[in-house]
Each structure stands twice: as structure tokens, then as C-alpha cells.
Structure 1
Amino acid sequence: MKVVAINGSPRKGGNTETLLREALKPLQAAGWESSFIQLGGAKIRGCIACYKCFENKDARCAVKTDVANDCLAEIFAADAVIMGSPTYFTDVTAELKALIDRAGLVAIANGGLLYGKIGAAVIAVRRGGGTHAYDSINHMYLMSGMVVPGSSYWNLGYGLNPGDVGGDAEGLRNMHHLGQSIACLGKALATVKGEYPGMPAGGEG
């Protein structure tokens, strides 16, 4: 099985990346193939609502001048997607929001490409606003028919400066539990899909 982690923070090696990599550890130990995308700081624009994806139906965004389609290819090929972001004025970064909007629309335009995948959100926060950013990611997951796993608490890690989250023992422990939950859920979903190969794509049935 395959998991992709997407770092919406422009800080490479910062708190969001630390949390994401901690969540990946149990999955890697369970034999999952993993990839990591550094999205924050990359060139990506928001959805322009051209709806060409509904005409082309090629699992790609019609805007091909940035990194979006590379990210979409990884997302659609994965069994689980973990999106992470720091908290910017109680929400996700502009780069991650752009990817959320474009991935969600392209998936819908192509018959529900996210349906049945596992989706998890991970948030780094200094003090407040983290749950709103967390919800921003999960809302797209849920309306796309993805399965959102629980953990031992909200998937938040606390810290301001790079490395601060390393002192949040509960946050790191929760990331580990999240990775374990995704691994367990992946096994269960693989069994269900094997028993019910005709499970509908998003929007059908």
C-alpha cells in the first residue's frame, strides 16, 4: 500500500514536517511505500474554476504551469493521503488550500478519484486556531468520500520555532497513533474492497 504526506509549510524541516514524518514511521514499519511532497514554498496557484477538468477527464488540472499535477498524480495513486499545515490566521497555508481545491475538483470531475482513500490532517500550531485548519483539510476529505481515521487526540502539535514541536510529547505520540490507525484502516479497507469489488466511485450508486 502507498501513503503520500504533503507538507504545506514553507519551512523545510520545521514543525509540520516533523509531525508528518512521525506519522509516517508506523506505516513505513508496516511495509507501506511512502512519499513526501514539499508543497509549501512551491509555485502553485488556486483553482480558476475553468471546469476544463470536466471536459478533459484525464485526472489532471488544465493549468499545467505549476506543481499541481505532479501532486495530483501522487495523491490519486496513493491509498492514504496525509496533508499537513502550520496554522496561518486559523487556517491552512495558501499553497495547501490551492492543492485542496484543485485536487477535490479534479477528483469529482473524473468520477470520484478520492473515494475510498484514507485522508488524514496534521496541523502545527503555536497556540490557537489549529482545529479550524484541521477542519479545512477534513472537509474536503469527507465530501470526497474519503475515510478519515481517528487517533488518540486531535492531530495537532504545538510549537512556534522550528524544532519546538519536538518538546510536545503528547503531540508526537498522537502522530504515532495516527500512523498506526491508518495502517490498521488500510488493511480493513483492502479486505472490504476485495469482498466488494463493485464499490461505487464517488457520486455513483
Structure 2
Amino acid sequence: MKVYLVNGSAKPQGTTFTALTNVKESLEENGIEAEIYWIGNKAISGCLGCNVCRKSGKCILNDSVNEFAQLAKDADGFVFGSPVHYAAATGFITAFMDRLFYSAGKNLAYKPASAVTVARRGGQSSTFDQLNKYFTINQMPVVSSTYWNQVYGLSGEQTQQDIEGTQVMQVLGNNMAWLLKCIEAGKNNGIVPRELPVLVHTNFVR
């Protein structure tokens, strides 16, 4: 089993990386393969709303979104992490997740996921809420911990000094591993997700 931990920070080894590393180590202690995927610091376009992906299964914009969409096919779980920018997730990971879930949501559906946020001080709750909404619209079990998945600090060293936050990351890894093993045991006993019904879409214009 494998979990991808997505680093949505422009810094490859900053506070978000440190928090995700704590989750990664916990997963590995439980026998789960884990890899941190950095989305990079090059510009990532937002969704164009062109709907080409609905026919091709691939976003028309060829960047890290398409690369990760392919990796997601064989993944068993996900953790998406972001520092807080103006009480919200970074523009990088927002554009990344908008297009990933729209063009390749089927590659992530039914797989456990969780969000991790890091901040110097404020804006964590709104950022955490923003990231979790991607999972709950895509039939993904949301993995929790002993507190909201937040760590405080302005540097990697400072985040390690947040003892409670670090523990929350460790428990998150344990809980993700436990749920993955439960799902695997279920599959081995013939328990699989029910087939989706034909979805009904409505709007408020008559």
C-alpha cells in the first residue's frame, strides 16, 4: 500500500514538508509506503473550464497535475498539505487540486485522504476547511487525528517545537495506516464500494 503526501508549498523543504515528514514516518512505521510529492514552484494555471478532460481524461494543460493524476491511479491514500496564505491554501495547491479533482477525480475516489495545514499564527481553520471539501465531494473517507491537522511555526525547526502539532501528525499517520488496512481487509472479503447510480445534476434556473 502506498500514500502520497502532496506538498503544496513553494518551498520544497519548509514547514509543510516538515509536517508531512512526521506523517510519512508514522506511516512507514506501520508498514505503509509513503512518498512526499512536491508540486513545485512554477506557475500552475487554474482550470480553464474547457471540459476537454471530460472527453480525453486528461487536462489540456500539461504540467504536474497530469503527472500526479497518473500516480494517483496506483495510490491507496493521500495527504494534501499547505501553508496558510491569507487564511487560505496557497494558490499553487488550490489550482493544482481544482484541476486534479475535476479532470481525474475518479483516480482518487474511495481512497482515504487528509489535509494538513501549517501557519505562523492564524488562518488554519479556514484553510483546513477549504482542503477537506475536495475529499467530501469525491467520495473519499477523511482521516482524522486527535485535533485538527495543524502545526505552528515559521520554519521547519519551529514546527518541530510544536509538540502537540507533531503528535497530531504522528497520530494522523497511524490512523491513515489503520484505515488502509481495514479497507484492504474488506476488499479481501468481498467488500467493495457500491456502483455509482446515474448522477442527477440540477441548477436553480428554470
TM-score, reference length from structure 2: 0.89
Give the structure 2 partner of residue 63 of structure 1. Answer: 61
- Stretches of 4+ aligned residues off by more than 6 angstroms: none
CA distance in 2, matches of 1:22, 1:178: 9
The answer (yes or no) to whether the contact 2:18–2:156 under 8 Å persists in 1 is no
Give the structure 1 partner of residue 19 of structure 2. Answer: 19
Which of 189, 195, 198 in structure 2 is aligned with 1:200? 195
CA distance in 2, matches of 1:174, 1:203: 39
Matched ranges for 1:122-137 at <5 A: 122-137=116-131
Q: Tell me the number of residue pairs that the alignment of Structure 1 and Structure 2 aligns.
A: 199
- The alignment-based identity, stated in percent, is 31
Matched ranges for 1:114-125 at <5 A: 114-125=108-119
Where structure 1 has 5 or more consecutive residues not aligned to the other structure, the ranges are none
> Shift of residue 12 of structure 1?
2.3
Give the structure 2 partner of residue 73 of structure 1. Answer: 70
The answer (yes or no) to whether the contact 1:144–1:202 under 8 Å persists in 2 is no
Q: Higher Cα Rg: structure 1 or 2?
A: 2
The answer (yes or no) to whether the contact 2:110–2:193 under 8 Å persists in 1 is no
The answer (yes or no) to whether the contact 1:193–1:199 under 8 Å persists in 2 is no
CA distance in 2, matches of 1:201, 1:178: 29
RMSD, aligned CA: 1.9
CA distance in 1, matches of 2:75, 2:198: 20
Matched ranges for 1:48-59 at <5 A: 48-56=48-56, 58=57
Where structure 2 has 5 or more consecutive residues not aligned to the other structure, the ranges are 200-206
TM-score, reference length from structure 1: 0.90
Q: Residue type matched to 1:127 in 2?
A: R
SS of structure 2 residue aligned to 1:95: helix
Q: Does 1:29 align with 2:29?
A: yes
CA distance in 2, matches of 1:202, 1:71: 27
